[in-house]
Structure 1
Amino acid sequence: MRIFGVILAGGQGRRMGGVDKALVPLAGRPMIAHVLDRLEPQVDSVLISANGDPVRFAPFGCRVVADDGSRGPLSGILAGMRVAAEMGATHLVSIPVDTPFLPGDLVPRLLLAAEASAERLALAADDSGDHPATALWPVGLAPALAAFLDAGETRVLRFAEAHGVVRAPFPDPRAFANLNTPDELAAAEALIRGTA
């Protein structure tokens, strides 16, 4: 088994004022740097799913993968699956770029849960609910995902449930907090600096 990660950095950042959330400073570093710190030790290689000029991600040393149509997170997941498969991966772990508090045991927990799935597909969940964009995907699902998107479907959970997804339970809901607004960013900053 060879597992790649993909950081989903293709969002519009509308609630953050239309900025590139990946590069928004958090505790003196770009938000994507915090996500990389947590994801990189858990996977064989990390991809960044983003459209636009890939040069902006050069400092992070990851291959940037553009998707073939902005149809939400599944577009980035599909692009990541295709590239990861070409590079010899069996699975892809997807992570939104605005979740800087990911658990250090994310991938092991997803793998453990995936053993109960026929497709070996698992998503993160906690007491607050499902986190469908934080999931383990077999790269062999790429053709099915392409067909799903071509049919006009975009909901991550709908596709996952059609392919026998299981939930990997996590105890701390803060681990998957999305930083979508300036207020959420400020709260995360306070948490990192120990002033929350």
Structure 2
Amino acid sequence: MTIAAVILAGGQGRRMGYVNKAHLALDGERFIDRQLRLAGEWAEERIVVVNDASRAAELSVPADVRVILDRYAGEGPLAGLHAGLQETTKPFAWVIGCDQPLIDANAARLLLERMRDGGHQAALPIIDGRPQPLHALYRAETSEIAGRLLASGERKLLSLLDRIDWIGLESSDFGAQGISARFADDIDTPEQYGRLRS
């Protein structure tokens, strides 16, 4: 296989009241455990990126999952993506936010298929007209571009898209394959978490 799953779990969870969202639960299962289980059904390699050693110590994950630290600590998801892509031994990475509990390997497979067909560096879902840089597929070598951005002081993950060749898939592309676009939902607030659980 050629796929790594990279889960970004270094966020501060400000809008959630500074709760570590990786430890939120759905149907009695932590988000991070659910993601590792679902990603492991497709990806050969699983990596969790955190922003400091205390976060790493809080995680209890299977022995074959690598937990690594941001190389640009505290600099947000672009730093997490950079670290994960640097660490993977696979040519493609499925990059997931730890607050996305409804991930779908079928959606990721479709993204990979379209990305490889066109020789693109990334494939992103476009939900409600907006590109979603997480639950997206990236070629591992885009880590070099992310690293240059971080070294220059750039912190926005979306700014990476201005510098790479990427393709976007609309909700209708997923729907045509029987895939609900809810895979891209992220849980940022207690209200969103309540709706998810209900």
The TM-score by the shorter chain falls in which range?
0.7 to 0.9
Q: Is the 1:114–1:121 contact (alpha carbons within 8 Å) kept by the matching residues of 2? A: yes
Q: Distance in 2 between matches of 1:59 and 1:165?
A: 32
Amino acid across the alignment from 2:80: G
- Once the two structures are TM-superposed, the CA of residue 16 in structure 1 deviates from its matched residue by 1.0
Partner of 1:67: 70
Q: Find the residue that maps to 1:101 and give its secondary structure.
A: coil
Q: Distance in 1 between matches of 2:51 and 2:159?
A: 24
User: Alignment identity in percent?
Assistant: 27
Q: Find the residue that maps to 2:165 and give its secondary structure.
A: coil
Q: Distance in 2 between matches of 1:101 and 1:33?
A: 12
* 1:55 maps onto 2:63 in alignment: no
Partner of 1:136: 137
- Once the two structures are TM-superposed, the CA of residue 117 in structure 1 deviates from its matched residue by 4.1
Partner of 2:190: 182
Q: Distance in 2 between matches of 1:108 and 1:140?
A: 19
The two structures, once aligned, show a CA RMSD in angstroms of 1.8
Instruction: Count how many residue pairs are aligned between Structure 1 and Structure 2.
Output: 187
Query: How high is the TM-score relative to the length of structure 2?
Result: 0.86
Query: Structure 1: which 5+ residue stretches go unaligned?
Result: 191-196
Q: Is the 1:6–1:80 contact (alpha carbons within 8 Å) kept by the matching residues of 2? A: yes
* Structure 1 residues 173 and 166: CA distance shift in structure 2, 3 A: same
Amino acid across the alignment from 1:29: E
Q: Is the 2:121–2:164 contact (alpha carbons within 8 Å) kept by the matching residues of 1? A: no
Alignment of 1:26-175 (within 5 A): 26-52=26-52, 53=54, 54-61=56-63, 62-69=65-72, 70-84=74-88, 88-127=89-128, 129-169=130-170, 170-171=174-175, 172-175=180-183
* Structure 1 residues 178 and 128: CA distance shift in structure 2, 3 A: farther
Query: Structure 2: which 5+ residue stretches go unaligned?
Result: none
* Structure 1 residues 161 and 122: CA distance shift in structure 2, 3 A: farther
Q: Distance in 2 between matches of 1:116 and 1:156?
A: 24
Q: Is the 1:117–1:164 contact (alpha carbons within 8 Å) kept by the matching residues of 2? A: no
Q: Distance in 1 between matches of 2:47 and 2:188?
A: 22
